[in-house]
Amino acid sequence: MLIHDLSVTYKIAIIGFGNIANAIITPLLEKKLIQPENVFSVVKSDKSFENIKKNYKYNINVFKSDSKESKIIWDCQVKLLSVKPQHLKDIIEPANIKIKDSLLVSILAGVSINSLMQTFPNHKCVRVVTNIPITVGKGLTGIAWGEEITEDQKKVTNKLFENTSKIYEFPEDYLDIFLALTSSGPAIIALIIEALSDGGLSGGLQKKLSEELVMEMILGTISLIKENKLTTSELKNLVTSPGGTTISALRLLEKKSIRSALIESIVSASNRSKEFS
């Protein structure tokens, strides 16, 4: 049975139900692309179990990982692996699994397709990198396909993320730099926003107002670049006049090697991701 049409009844297992998994599955339930009774979540802690039972707005099936009932996840055609990477060793695929070559989609940072295939030999494995803006429907998702993934399984994977992300397909080697830019990037941008707003604070602005001005400035700058199809260099030249305030600011940033520091921050994050592999 083809399962790329999500209106068709099938079962999906969510192994680990954190913020990202929540952001992936909830829009599918809201759009009725899947039904709550066909979602099976397995969590490790009592706190997570109780929180889903009491607070999650859809009545999905949820089990503790150490319960006998949790074994039902292995009968699902699709599995979303969303545990912390250090907990991967706790997940053991049964020897007598009923459904062979079902789809396993992993969003674990730094865990290679090869490692996934060794851990889940009866599955077709896909490695996905996504970022925290997925929780507000503005995510960026990179996908690398494992061996012998079918076109149907590719469509299923895309369906999981297309409601909340822009999707990019890459060879696996590119996922580390994709992670550095898109998953570590939001923290770097937050640091820049914080630093710029502190600059406004030092000039006498209230902190809240200064942060608001910085964020609106960034959004406006991005819109200007996109709508006028400018390069970043063209935008920089557009607002930089001889002997003016902007070139004074840029000169100081160059003296402090800010450009180099930002480049190296992405390289460092990418290298760290490779170390996890």
φ, ψ (nearest 5 deg) of residue 39: -110, 130
The 10s digit of each residue's pLDDT in 170-196 is: 999 999 999 999 999 999 999 999 999
Choose among 119, 125, 123, 115: nearest CA to 97: 123
For residue 101, pLDDT over 60 is answered with yes
pLDDT digits (tens, 9 = 90+) for 132-159: 999 999 999 999 999 899 999 999 999 9
Pair 112, 230 in one domain? no
Residues 109 and 240 in one domain: no
Q: Which of 73, 80, 69 is nearest to 25 (CA)?
A: 80
Whether 4 is in a domain gets the answer: no
Query: Are 22 and 154 in a shared domain?
Result: yes
Q: Residue 14 phi/psi, 5° resolution?
A: -110, 110
pLDDT cut 90: percent of the chain above it: 82
Residue 192 sits in the same domain as residue 164: no
Predicted pLDDT at 9: 61
Residues 52 and 128 in one domain: yes
Q: Residues near 86 by Cβ (< 8 Å), separated by ≥ 6?
A: none
Report pTM. 0.89
Average pLDDT over residues 5-25: 84
Q: Is the pLDDT of residue 1 over 80?
A: no
Domain boundary among 170, 188, 204: 170
Give me the domain span that covers residue 227: 178-276
Q: What is the pLDDT of residues 111-134, one digit of tens each?
A: 999 999 999 999 999 999 999 999
Alpha-carbon radius of gyration of the chain: 22
